[in-house]
Chain A
């Protein structure tokens, strides 16, 4: 199994505030990696650093290519899509325009075929395709965020706390979808989550993030067995 995303010694922050202090993680091709961490551990910062939204030092390699100094829009073109924290809905655009905005980096006309494909997976979005996306429920907006990110045909999907503000039943459904995308399409996924139970179920490998660096990592089974991690993040 080849490594798709490899982050080594990642240092990033906001101005004078250093949030990530030498973080290492990796996502294998066709696998799901999960980053667990409490509030303020640096989960969202990790996502922003990978997608190039903030200044970063260290090495980020994607598919063997060094993307440490690549701009965010070029990173999307290389095949990394992100579901931003809090869904990032373009509230005044219609659902279909949101989806088309997801295919922004693909200038060709292939978007319509993709649109139909994702409508088939998310029929709710098709029903509401001409409504303003801001009028969707939280769960629907999260589905939209995933479908929109997939419109760029990424190799790696970054999901920043997809369960945020959603009912447990919707969260379950959401992780079922992520699991399916991985199993059926071989999509590599990096999920940042606080809801460890659900996330670990679909994960191949798990990284535990504390105050800006990885304190434990391993396969999903290893982490589930590890007593200290289990107590802290799985709660049993």
Chain B
């Protein structure tokens, strides 16, 4: 960044990449346009899409919320979890059970799901204090494996069926959407779509504000250098367990939304495969970036969806490829290719490309800073590095 500023001030300004000062009017224009485009797309889909498209977007939102949750834990705090499907499942079961058997209000079941997931996440964070990397991955892997068994026992003993009904969340009257009649299916889809968008937005804002706060800096500090973070006064135990808890609670909202969307679900609905999807979505989009998990989740979901519905009809594929489970094969191949092309995810890739056109430069230095004597002592050679 400094080099750009020097070269422009040297009298021979380079046309591209063009520097944009941070928080300048132009920078704000770009930001506002970005937000407006996304909002317009969301509203357009909400007004015009068919129930099945709305359902797909809602499903993508569920994936995105889980990926956002995982990003907080893995991307920013550096703790890996392959057990996030458990939190999603726990919240879904809590919602399905309390609504159907105790006749709870569905929104209270969201609160319950968040609390339960926070507590379980917090408890899982305790072994994480002593374990790192692959060892922590193993513990969370075990949790993801145990969950279906626990869920099955729960279904057998408490529900006495082999599946649990969804919460059948219907739109409240103030929305103007109907829950009965011929438009019911569409209106319910619209309502769930907006639930998904709003919950995703809330999850994003929570993680964003956390990341930009004092706590957020300490999360990244713990990830980058635990010892240094500890000697800055960061309480490692507190930070790691609380982060695990918050991440699990956010994943819980994805589970609640699942329970609202699905007609029935059972012990096989939230398996380790879901956890792997969350991880894939996160890394496709770009871990440790704020938008990465959302972009990754949508890209993954719709790529998967497209391949599933179209790839089996592609007759131009050579020989054996045109038969059998071609969609998952292609998806795997694309993911592998993608890791080489964009190792920092879609968001990292786009940022790199954008940097060729525009560079956001830091706000200008405050004027009238007296250069300190220490700076003058600096030898010339080291100034140029």
Contacts and interface: CB of A to CB of B under 8 A. Distances in A.
A, B: real partners: yes
A53 B227 contact: yes
Interface in A130-162: 130-131, 137, 139, 145, 148-149, 152
Q: Classify chain B: how many residues form its interface, as a range.
A: 35 or more
B362 A130 contact: yes
Contact of A101 (B218, B362, B369, B385): B218
Q: Which of B229, B231, B288 has the most CB of A within 10 A?
A: B231
Contacts of B225: 84, 88-91
Interface string B26-52: 000000000000000000000000000
Interface stretch (A15-23, A115-123, A187-195, A216-224): A115-123
Contacts of A90: 217, 220-221, 224-225, 228-229
B305 interface: no
Nearest to A134: B224
Given A121-B372, A169-B379, A53 B230 contact: yes
Contact of B231 (A88, A122, A176): A88
Interface in A45-72: 51, 53, 71-72
Given A90-B220, A170-B382, A105 B232 contact: yes
A76 B233 CA distance: 5
B375 A88 contact: no
A93 B221 contact: yes
Contacts of A124: 375, 378
A88 B227 contact: yes
A72 B230 contact: yes
Nearest to B218: A104
A106 to B, nearest CB: 9
B235 interface: yes
Contact of B227 (A81, A84, A126, A148): A84
A89 B226 CA distance: 10
A120 B369 contact: yes
Contact of A81 (B231, B234, B369, B371): B231
Contacts of A71: 235
A100 B225 CA distance: 15
Interface in B187-241: 214, 217-218, 220-221, 223-225, 227-235
CB-CB nearest 7 A-B residue pairs: A88-B228, A76-B233, A105-B233, A82-B231, A130-B362, A90-B224, A73-B233
Interface of A: 51, 53, 71-73, 76-77, 81-82, 84, 87-93, 97, 100-102, 104-105, 107, 116, 119-124, 126-131, 137, 139, 145, 148-149, 152, 169-170, 173, 176-177, 180
